[in-house]
Amino acid sequence: MTKPKHPGARVIRQSTLKSAIDCVGVGLHSGARVRMHLQPAAPGSGIRFRRTDLPGAPEIPALWSHVVDTRMCSRIAVDGGASVATIEHLMAALAGMGIDNCLVDIDGPEVPAMDGSAAPFVFLIDCAGIAEQAAPRQAIRVIAPVEVARGDARVTLEPAPAFSVSCAIDFASAAIARQDLSFDLDPAAFRAEIARARTFGFAADVERLRAAGLARGGSLENAVVIDGDRVLNPDGLRYGDEFVRHKILDAIGDFYLAGQPVLGHVRSVRGGHELNNLALRALFDRPEAWRCEDMTERTPGATTGAAALQVAG
């Protein structure tokens, strides 16, 4: 760990929830009805999931090294086999609102889809409140670029003052086509510009995905569904470029699996969960490409926790 970059600047403190709160919903891929309980956690404990329906209630750290599947979502697991899938939307909400430590009790295999975005989880955080903790908030600063690729898809992680994402997607469907967007992570901006963007899929893929054990809980209530060049949802889109905004939402959640905020720029071209995870693995495989440092009030984008709630509210 390094000392703060700006000596004398106030160190930003870690944050957790003020009180516990829960919700009930259906898993997007499993179709299972699950209850999820978010509760405060001690400084330095990070984000952890606890499968309360399994013997011994095993805990699974929300870390890049515990990601075992990236088909259509990010799934984490421990050696004993306990796993939790589709964690990225909740992780994005926790990252966007500056929550460092949270214990997530869940009685099923997948985080509930809610409406397919991160907005319901932001609402839960608002209701629970945010509490500042005594320990300093630390971040992973990218100091050398890393890049991973699969065919014409690639994700690059570059040095930058704060966490930001540039994303480009390109689909044959005219409902999506090519969309590009850059976003600097900030609690108020996350709430207004990213949190409400929903996951999306194609009607033509539904049967194939369900045969593979995926999308069994998907519906127009929790996803944007495209049929040819048409959006089937009666209310249409929440943003004109909702698709690329959701890809940015996914990236925010996936990169929060670093275990701490990442101070760097993510450049994604046709990227997804697999390349997001591979980019983190590539970063941590190179000790010379990153360092851990305390965040201070002069760190760009460092408004977090209780301050984030005040800014956003």
Q: Of 259, 257, 252, 258, nearest to 301 (Cα)?
A: 252
Q: Would you kindly state where each structural domain of the chain is located, as residue ranges?
A: 13-312
**To which H or E segment does residue 242 belong?**
helix 242-255
Non-local CB neighbours of 138 within 8 Å, separated by 6+ positions: 1, 260, 292, 293, 294, 295
3-state secondary structure of 225: strand
Reported as half-sphere exposure (CB side, CA atoms, 13 A), residue 134 has a value of 1
**To which H or E segment does residue 148 belong?**
strand 146-150
How high is the pLDDT of residue 221? 87
Give every residue of the chain whose pLDDT is below 70, as ranges.
1-8, 207, 209-215, 301-313
Return left, alpha or beta for 52; rule: phi > 0 is left, psi -120 to 50 is alpha, else beta. Answer: alpha
Rounded CA gap, 173 and 167, in Å?
18
| DSSP state for residue 182 in the 8-state scheme | E
Of the listed 66, 89, 265, 273, which one is catalytic? Answer: 273
Q: Is 6 a catalytic residue?
A: no
Per the CB < 8 A criterion, the answer to whether 261 and 137 are in contact is yes
Rounded CA gap, 8 and 40, in Å?
30
Rounded CA gap, 275 and 155, in Å?
6
pLDDT in tens, 197-213: 999 989 888 767 666 66
How high is the pLDDT of residue 185? 97
| Token reading at 20 | 């516990």
Q: Of 109, 138, 108, nearest to 15 (Cα)?
A: 138
157-187 CB burial, b ≥16 within 10 A, e <16: beebebbbbbbbbeeeeebbeebebebbbbb
Query: Hey, what CATH topology would domain 13-312 get?
Result: lpxc deacetylase, domain 1 (3.30.1700)
